Each structure stands twice: as C-alpha cells, then as structure tokens.
Structure 1
Amino acid sequence: DMPRFPGCEDEATKDAKKACADKKMLEYIYKNIKYPAIARENGVEGMVVVQFVVEKDGTVTDAKVVRDIGAQCGQEALRVVNLMNDQGIRWTPGKQRGRPVRVQFNLPVRFKLE
C-alpha cells in the first residue's frame, strides 16, 4: 500500500481512502501555500514537484524539489511539505506485506494565478 495523507482511514475501501486522502492533501497544500510575490509579479505559473520520504512512523523526511518553475515557487512548495511535521501531521505509512515501510512520494504542486 502507498502512504496516505491522514484523516481518511474510516473510509470503507482502499480506493475511497486514497481519493479522500488525495483531496485532504490538496486542501492542506492550498490552505498553507503562499504564492511568491516575485512569481505573481512575473506571471510565473506551472507545476513544481516535491519528492519526499514517508517514514514508517508517518513523518516526512528528505524533502527536495525535483521539478521547479523558478521565482521561489519550489522553495514555497518545499516549505509547505516540511510544515507537515511541524504541524504534527502524520501520514498513514506505506505497507508491504502488512508491515510499515519507508516510501518515496512525489507530490505535484500547481501554481496558478487567479
């Protein structure tokens, strides 16, 4: 099983848990992200990808930007991913044969001017 963002373990099926977790993760990202002023002023939009490891205990480690669009967007996406640990957010860890394992995760973060 892949790791899941918390708050959805009551859902009945694996697919429902994943859909709910993906939605909650996006809500978290977009609630906390601040569009960098330099990106806004220069009309920078696009997709940043942050790669991180979800540890067996659900914490996030080794976060790094693997795709950046510049204008501080990558740094901002990274800040929000690292904020999860500070806010006490613990993922449901990935599992292999029923046991928790470390799993690398790629998170795309879209920057779009309203």
Structure 2
Amino acid sequence: MKKRNKIIYWIATIWLSLGMISTGVVQLIQMDEEVQKMNELGYPAYFLTIIGVWKILGVIAILVPRFPLVKEWAYAGFFFLISGAIFTHIAVADEIINYFGPLLLLVLTIISWFFRPADRKF
C-alpha cells in the first residue's frame, strides 16, 4: 500500500511539475499565442510573467526535500491558480478544448498533494 501510494505520488508530481514548468516557461517568454490568449481572457500581458515565475518557484518548492510548510503553500498556490484559470475560461464561455489542460493540472495537483509522503506533509 505504501509503495503504491509513493508511485502514485511520484507519477502525479512529475507530470504536474512538467506541466507547470512547460507552461511557466511559455508564459515567461511571452509567446505570441499566450499573450493573445491572455488578452482574450481579459488579463494584461504582464500577468504572464507573474504566473510563470510563481509556477517555476512552486515546482521547486514541491520537489526539494524538507520545507513542508512551503510545499503546502505551493500546492495551495497551484490550486488557486489553476481553479482560477478554469473559472476564467467559464466566465468568457471559452471552447471546451481549452478546459483540458487546466483540469488535468488541477487533478494532478490534488493527487500529488493527497498522496505525498509523510515527510513532505506539514
């Protein structure tokens, strides 16, 4: 049971980390498609820099050993950021395909948080 939980944790955490790093980098370099999408959603382009930096810092926080309180804050930040993205897509009546990425990252965040080992809990 413990081994299964550890495997689930690491699979979810690695995929979550890859998703957050890749989207964070895309936001930091402000790809044209990202800037256009943020404008469509009603957010200023500089918001991409803020989100990108926090995503990368959040990934570092959940991957490094120790610092369980920082991990809790990182998971909470991911949850609020991603749920906010989902509600933004709902608010602008975005196409259903645009919900897939945020929903997947939200599920991975919850799974990673739920199955994290005892030494990573606060």
Same fold (TM over 0.5): no
Give the structure with the higher percent strand.
1
Q: TM-score, normalization: structure 1?
A: 0.32
Q: TM-score, normalization: structure 2?
A: 0.30
Give the structure with the higher percent helix.
2
